[in-house]
Amino acid sequence: MPSAPTQPHHHFRLRHPPRYYAHRVKESLTTRVMKVLCSCFLGLLLIVGIMAFVLWISLRPHRPRFHVSNFSIPTISSENGLQNTEISFNVTDRNPNQNVGIFYMDMDASVFYREKKIGMTPLSLPFYQPPKNTTYIDGVFSGTSLKVGNDSWSEIMVDREAGRIVFRLGLRARFRFKLSMWDSKRHRMHVSCDVAVGPDGEVLAISKKKRCSIYFS
């Protein structure tokens, strides 16, 4: 009987030495490990960043809010009003922060008529304002702290006859934000409140509870 045909033998030859393939496998594993480590690091960095952002949002100091409660010139209707002029005021200072307090080192007030300063007086001694607190700040301009010249008084009388006298109350303070054992650097704050007074010397409704503008320097 004829013998079965023999199958041809195929010889495979490696195109590269075994050491080359071992190096490629090792390199592939190293790349995968590095990718995993980089992914873990970036994920951790993202989590830390989100936590820091949330913490910053919750603890970021917000500027205080000032509103005029009262502003009065009781002698404005008096014949001798110029000699006995006195201006009293009351302003509310609201600290809107949830966790941050405010320490005021000093504060003074000024009053302006037609952008001319006619009075200046120091206010309260240093005080600490807790978070979510409203503090009432009042003061009086009189005597040497109030200097209204004849020209200014004549203009005030003209405005009085027209039914409204407009003043500007300014507050200036140095303060720091306080959080537990942490204190911010010192800031200087300027508050400006436009106030309209009627013929009776009392603040008009349009100015009462009006929010003052504020800026830092």
Q: Is 148 part of any domain? A: yes
More confident residue, 83 or 50: 83
Query: Would you say residue 5 has pLDDT above 70?
Result: no
Q: Is 154 part of any domain? A: yes
Q: Are 163 and 199 in contact (CB under 8 A)?
A: yes
Q: Is 6 part of any domain? A: no
Q: Is the same domain home to 118 and 180?
A: yes
Alpha carbon distance 88, 193 (integer Å) = 14
Place of tokens 């504020």: 214
Domain with 52 in it: 11-60
* pLDDT-derived band at 44, boundaries 50, 70, 90: confident
Q: Is 1 part of any domain? A: no
Q: Is the same domain home to 100 and 55?
A: no
Q: Is the same domain home to 104 and 180?
A: yes
Q: Is 3 part of any domain? A: no
φ, ψ for residue 33, nearest 5 deg: -60, -40
Query: Would you say residue 4 has pLDDT above 70?
Result: no
Q: Is the same domain home to 77 and 166?
A: yes
Asked which of 41, 60, 79 is the last residue of a domain, the reply is 60
**Share above pLDDT 70 across residues of the chain, in percent, rounded to a whole number:** 80
Asked which of 45, 60, 75 is the last residue of a domain, the reply is 60
What mean pLDDT is reported for the chain? 84
Q: Are 112 and 165 in contact (CB under 8 A)?
A: no
Q: Is the same domain home to 129 and 180?
A: yes
Q: Is the dihedral of CA 165, 106, 95, 63 positive or negative?
A: positive
Burial of 152 (0-12, 13-18, 19+ CB in 10 A): middle
Q: How many domains does the chain have?
A: 2
Q: Is the same domain home to 103 and 117?
A: yes
Q: Is the same domain home to 50 and 83?
A: no
**3-state class (DSSP) for residue 62:** coil
Query: Would you say residue 18 has pLDDT above 70?
Result: no
Q: Is 5 part of any domain? A: no
From residue 172, give the alpha-carbon distance in Å to each of 30, 104, 147, 149.
63, 11, 19, 24
For residue 29, the model assigns a pLDDT of: 67
Residues 113-168 pLDDT 10s? 999 999 999 998 899 999 999 999 999 999 889 999 889 999 999 999 999 999 99
The amino acid at residue 216 is F
Q: Is 2 part of any domain? A: no
Q: Is the same domain home to 147 and 202?
A: yes
Alpha carbon distance 168, 177 (integer Å) = 27
Q: Is the same domain home to 117 and 192?
A: yes
Q: What is the CATH number of the domain that holds 159?
A: 2.60.40
Q: Is the same domain home to 95 and 195?
A: yes
What mean pLDDT is predicted for residues 107-114?
Answer: 96
Q: Is 172 part of any domain? A: yes
For residue 105, the model assigns a pLDDT of: 95
Q: Are 73 and 113 in contact (CB under 8 A)?
A: no
Q: Are 164 and 188 in contact (CB under 8 A)?
A: no
Q: Is the same domain home to 175 and 193?
A: yes
Residues constituting the chain: 217
Q: Is the same domain home to 132 and 54?
A: no
Q: What is the helix (H) or strand (E) element at residue 110, kind and residue range?
A: strand 101-113
| 137-140, Cβ contacts within 8 angstroms, sequence gap of 24 or more | 137/90, 137/91, 137/92, 137/93, 137/107, 137/171, 138/88, 138/89, 138/90, 138/91, 139/88, 139/89, 139/109, 140/86, 140/87, 140/88, 140/89
Residues 163-189 pLDDT 10s? 999 999 999 999 999 987 778 889 999
